Amino acid sequence: MKKALLIIFLVLLIDQAIKIYVKTHFYLGQEVQLAGNWAILAFTENNGMAFGMEFAGKYGKIFLSTFRIFAVIGLFWYLNDVIKNGAKQGFVWCMALIIAGAIGNILDSAFYGLIFSDSYCGVAHFASPGYAGFLHGKVVDMFYFPILTGHFPQWVPFWGSEQFIFFRPIFNFSDASISVGVFLILVFQRKFFSKANAA
């Protein structure tokens, strides 16, 4: 459990350091190219879900934030249980990445509205009162990788001739942590859940 907690702490430290830096040094919509046109630091905010997706309004955000908190509690309980039952170390690390990512975005929603001014009129700063109440803060996103751009062929149904961008969503370190954790569990599920090689 100590290694899992260390992973969670390190992910949260990196995630919050990046978010606070972007929030206090970028104005909303500002972009900085990291590697040409395919790797961009682009400051955006969203109301809750991963990769900039939205959830229904004020009450939807409270529901989403509350659900996340209970989900993290459940994941911690599950992680503790699988560790006691000899889970593979790789699986434990993946679960730690998922938990850390979930906590990272909860922190934005819970506290950023309380401690920051909004980012609409310029660079945000620490403020009291902030721009929103508890659990109503916006999640900070910044990583944008439009690696491939072009237009769909005219014969493609619904999207013919429309522009496409891959990868379109703008995300943060927490989103990446969750995605990596889930991806690795899917890729190595046979190894992680093999009884014959259980650690």
| Tens digits of residue pLDDT in 109-157 | 999 999 999 888 789 999 878 998 888 899 999 999 887 777 777 787 8
Annotated active-site residue 141? The verdict is: yes
Taking only the tens place, the pLDDT of each residue in 50-103 is 554 555 556 677 788 888 899 999 999 999 999 999 889 999 999 999 999 999
Annotated active-site residue 118? The verdict is: no
How many helices and strands (H and E) does the chain possess?
A: 6, 6
Find, among 189, 191, 186, 143, the residue nearest to 168 by Cα: 143
Enclosing H/E stretch for 4: helix 2-25
Look up residue 91 and give its amino acid.
F
Kindly name the residue from 15, 81, 118, 141 that is annotated as catalytic.
141
Rounded CA-CA distance 147/167 in Å is 6
Kindly name the residue from 81, 108, 118, 175 that is annotated as catalytic.
175
Tokens of 65: 């934030």
DSSP string, 53-108: ---SHHHHHHHHHHHHHHHHHHHHHHHHHHHHTT--HHHHHHHHHHHHHHHHHHHI
pTM of the model: 0.84
**CB under 8 Å to 176, separation ≥6 — which residues?**
101, 143
**CB under 8 Å to 92, separation ≥6 — which residues?**
3, 4, 79, 82, 83
Taking only the tens place, the pLDDT of each residue in 23-47 is 999 999 999 998 877 789 999 998 7
Tokens of 119: 């980012």
Rounded CA-CA distance 118/138 in Å is 9
